[in-house]
Homo-oligomer: A and B are copies of this chain.
Amino acid sequence: MQNDQKIRIVIYEDNRDLREGMTFLLQATPGLEFAGAFPDATNLEMQIPGLKPDVVLMDIDMPGRSGIDAATIVKALRPETQVLMLTVFEDEEKVFQAIRNGASGYLLKRTPPTEIISAIQDVHIGGSPMTSTIARRVLRFFQQQPPSGSSRPDYDLSPRELEILKSMVKGYSYKLIAEEHFISVDTVRSHIRHIYEKLQVNSKTEAVLKALREKIV
């Protein structure tokens, strides 16, 4: 993806010890080029364009601007820059926010130095290093399944009922659903009644919500 120049790295990390430790680590590693380190991301617009980092190590909790907002801005300024988030906790919400905002990797601060180095190299060649715990959360989000997958309720809808439900999820009125399926409004009503019974709801909105949250629809 990139040539074999040194990988230019910028650090945003409010903890001084950590920041200096990582700076030292980067400077001591061949193949990496330390480009700068800052305790906060407030002036990042002025820093990134000049420093032209290949990889940014971004602390997620910083005074002033959060690492998540900072990640967004970095990607906006230099899309080719890879952002590696560093955090103490694997906060579910923050992980997803960071990912949506363009972060390419997600590591815990307690990760050993050698692994941080390889994560940097990894993210630079197009990988997305992350802890397997975080990976699981991401996957789970994909699968949109309940925690330990033990009990997914089975509402036992007939194929037709499922079709009708899908139309409902499109926001259609009875009349529209009837037209869409070439059946009478009364039939639609009939199906919907059965759907309500099976889903244990009693309004279109509730049915749609339940369908969206629990089913594939």
Give chain A's interface residues, CB within 8 Å of chain B. 1, 72, 75-76, 79-80, 99-105, 119, 122-123, 126-133, 135-136, 138-139, 141-143, 145-146, 148-152, 168-169, 171, 173, 201, 203-206, 208-209, 212
Query: Which residue from chain B places its CB closest to the CB of A81 in the assembled complex?
Result: B149
A209 to B205, CA, bound (A): 9
A173 surroundings in chain B (CB, below 8 A):
203
- What are 10 pairs between A and B in contact, CB < 8 Å? A79-B148, A100-B142, A104-B139, A105-B135, A122-B132, A127-B135, A128-B135, A130-B135, A138-B142, A205-B208
A26 to chain B, nearest CB (A): 19
A171 surroundings in chain B (CB, below 8 A):
201, 203, 205-206, 209
Q: Which of B119, B135, B148, B208 contacts A100 (CB 8 A)?
A: B148
Query: Which residue from chain B places its CB closest to the CB of A205 in the assembled complex?
Result: B171
Does A142 lie within 8 Å of B79, measured CB to CB?
Answer: no
A136 surroundings in chain B (CB, below 8 A):
104, 126-128
A119 surroundings in chain B (CB, below 8 A):
132
A212 surroundings in chain B (CB, below 8 A):
212
